[in-house]
Every structure is written in structure tokens, then in C-alpha cells.
Homo-oligomer: A and B are copies of this chain.
Amino acid sequence: MVLTMAETQEFLVPLEQYLKEGIHIGTKFKTKYMENFIYKVRNDGLMILNVQEIDKRLKIAINLLSQYKPEEVIIVCRRENGWKAVRAFSRITGVRAFAGRYPPGILTNPNLETFTEAKLMLITDPWQDKNVIKDALNVGIPVIALCDTNNECNNIDLVVPCNNKGKRSLGLAYWILARGYLGSLGVEMKEGIEEFTDTE
């Protein structure tokens, strides 16, 4: 990969680690929302995301997250490949995570016993987690979303471009976010990336 721009940008993890976990490997489809994050199309048709943009947006996401207390944030991940990652994020930071099915109405229906409030939402895939985006819109809270090349980004306040399909890519993304968020709380994260994903 030729770095033509932002050569002074200091990455959150070494470039090699981003590439090794495939955080930049998109899909064969692109939406208008994601085209600005696409660096090139590989010979086999896979869209490749711009790593500098991934890194920059992860930093912005950390900055935004760090404005909120753990109890004010919820993370949602319907995709099974992200369950280990969001559960580790939750265990380590105290942020509530919904890995798997997101219970309908918990943010919008005060009559439910499970009713809860949140001030910021972090989601793994705008397609799979579309119901929760609607709820966030209804209660007027910001949404940060990991978005792959094929995602529509309606009603997403901060798009973090990345491969949101693979276990290792999701593990790395959530590990970086958890480490940054903990750091903003003045805590050094001890957990390695193996807590967030299956390593080879």
C-alpha cells in the first residue's frame, strides 16, 4: 500500500496490524455513502478501505465516546462475529452491550420493565442493527456505526469505516475503541486483543 497522504499521521496501532487483521478489506459492493472511504478496488473485485480514514475515524469515535460515562453508552451487535468483541468491551469498560438480539422498545417504551436510557449508541452494522438506529432516532441520541463498503449510513452521526464482517477485524476495532475509551477515563487497558477475538 502506497501512502500518498497524511504521512505524518500517527496511527493508533501499527499499519501492519491494521492490514494483518484485514480491517481495510471491504465487500464487492459500495454505496454512495461509503465511496469516499474507498481507496481502491482489488483485482478480485473487493473494495479496499483507506486505512488513514479508518484510523482517523476511530480516533474521532474515541473522542466522542470519552464524553460519556459508561452507563450512558450502549453497544449493539447482532452479528455473531462481533459478540466476543463487544462482550469484552462491556466487561472491561462497564458499557452495556447487546450481543445478538436487541430487545425492542427498551429505549423507547417507558412501560417496559427493561426500559433504559442511553445518551450514545455504538453499533456494529447499520443493516443488521437497523431497528436500534430507529430507536436512537426516536429518542434523539447520536449513533456511531462501524460501516463497511456496502452499508447505507442514513441517520448515522459518525461513520467509522471498516470491515465489520470479520471476527478479527471487529476484534481489533473494538479493542482499539476500548483501549482509547479506558485511556480517557485515566485507566490503562491490560487486556490484549486475544480477549476480543480468536487469534490464530
List A53-96 residues whose CB lies under 8 Å from chain B: 56-57, 59-60, 63-64, 66-67
Q: Quick one: given A63-B64, A66-B67, are A154 and B6 in contact (CB under 8 Å)? A: no
* Least CB distance, A184 to chain B, in whole angstroms: 9
A157 touches B60 (CB 8 A): yes
- Which interface class (under 10, 10 to 19, 20 to 34, 35 or more) fits A? 20 to 34
* Least CB distance, A52 to chain B, in whole angstroms: 6
B138 touches A57 (CB 8 A): no
Q: Provide the bound-state CA to CA distance between A145 and B138, in Å.
A: 25
| Interface 0/1 of A90-115, CB less than 8 Å to B | 00000000000000000000000000
A9 within 8 A of B: yes
A13 within 8 A of B: no
Q: Provide the bound-state CA to CA distance between A56 and B59, in Å.
A: 20
Q: Can you spell out 8 A-B residue pairs with CB atoms less than 8 angstroms apart?
A: A9-B140, A32-B32, A36-B154, A36-B155, A56-B140, A56-B141, A59-B142, A64-B64
Chain A positions within 8 Å of B, measured between CB atoms, are 5-6, 8-9, 32, 36, 52, 56-57, 59-60, 63-64, 66-67, 137-142, 154-155, 157-158
